[in-house]
Amino acid sequence: MYGRRRWVLVALFATCFSGCGRPSAPTSGPTSVADLGPRRPDPQLPLFDGFEGESVAPFWRAGDAGSGRYAAGAVAVTSDHARSGTQSVRITVREGDVRQQGDDGEDNERAELDSGKLTFAGRELWYGFSMLVPPEFPIVSTRLVVAQWKQTGIKGGPLIAQRYRSGRHHLTIRDWSDPDGERQEYPLPAIIPARWNDMVYRVRLSASADGLVEAWVNGERVVSHRGPTASATGDDQVYNKIGLYRDRMVQPMSIYFDNYIAGDSRAAVDPSRFDGDRRAEQQHAADGAARRR
């Protein structure tokens, strides 16, 4: 672990050395941040990938780590589209990729980037990313998850899942106050093909009533959920994945992602914060490296 972190520092310092600017002023949104409470600096944060390098950032877990996350060639940095800078990452799932059988007995397949485990006890985590669904994307009834948060040490579905199915964009949250393990569902704004959507999530994972999930899409808060958001019997670790997780089907699917950030405030993770300011991206990467020293 130490070796990997040191490698990250070297890579990010090299980026900074090529020219650091000051970060742009964070964009402000309609949501109050007055109730965020005190924050403790987390040496693991921020994590940032603007996908401007030759490959994805070193903090992402390898495709074949653990039970497998993506097949060879499924994750590609590309200049096809960019939310900021000149590149993004294209994630593609094809039939049979990292095939597994889900708890429901269904065959599933995946191509997902996993940002690694974070300890969540008693604190908030913020995540941001921008995603673009290309015009040729198949609109089908097959189950599809494009972002998910999972708790280690428990079985079953994700704590939180952003889903896109039959053209319906929505968020599901496991309901730990329900002994039957049902989930609550929230609609998200419709996805318009070929347009970037800026996603921001505020998450407090807790087995108690102080749990919360809030979501913003393009600056508008669209989900505000309160109540238990994690299992009391699971581990105190969460991991977030972006990409494509679906039931088995023949036709491939690709989605583009840019400006992935895990941080400790809304301003820190807002994918729009780099609008028109490439140098701010470099500074943000350098800030993350400095905090991990």
- Write out the residues near Ca ion by the rule CB under 5 A: 50-51, 82, 84-85, 87, 258
- Round to whole Å and give the CA distance between 81 and 264: 27
* Nearest distance from C-beta of residue 119 to Ca ion, angstroms: 28
Cβ distance to Ca ion smaller for residue 216 or 256? 256
Cβ-based nearer residue to Ca ion, 245 or 260: 260
Provide the CA 121 distance to its chain's centre, in angstroms: 19
Q: What is the pairing mode between strands 100-101 and 183-187?
A: unpaired
Q: Is residue 59 a contact partner of residue 272, using CB atoms and an 8 Å limit?
A: no
CB of 23 to Ca ion, least distance (A): 16
Q: Which is nearer to Ca ion, 83 or 163 (CB)?
A: 83
How far apart are the C-alpha atoms of 266 and 262, rounded to whole Å? Answer: 10
Q: Which is nearer to Ca ion, 83 or 110 (CB)?
A: 83
We find the least distance from the C-beta atom of residue 259 to Ca ion, in angstroms, to be 6
Q: What kind and span of H or E run contains 199?
A: strand 196-204
CB of 72 to Ca ion, least distance (A): 23
**In which residue are the tokens 């087995």 written?**
207
Q: How far is the CB of 272 from Ca ion (least distance, A)?
A: 12
CB of 176 or CB of 257, closer to Ca ion? 257
Angle among Cα 196, 201, 206 to the nearest 5 degrees reads 160
Residue pair 189/176 in contact by the 8 Å Cβ criterion: no
Contact 13, 255 (CB under 8 A): no
Closest residue to Ca ion, judged by C-beta, is 85
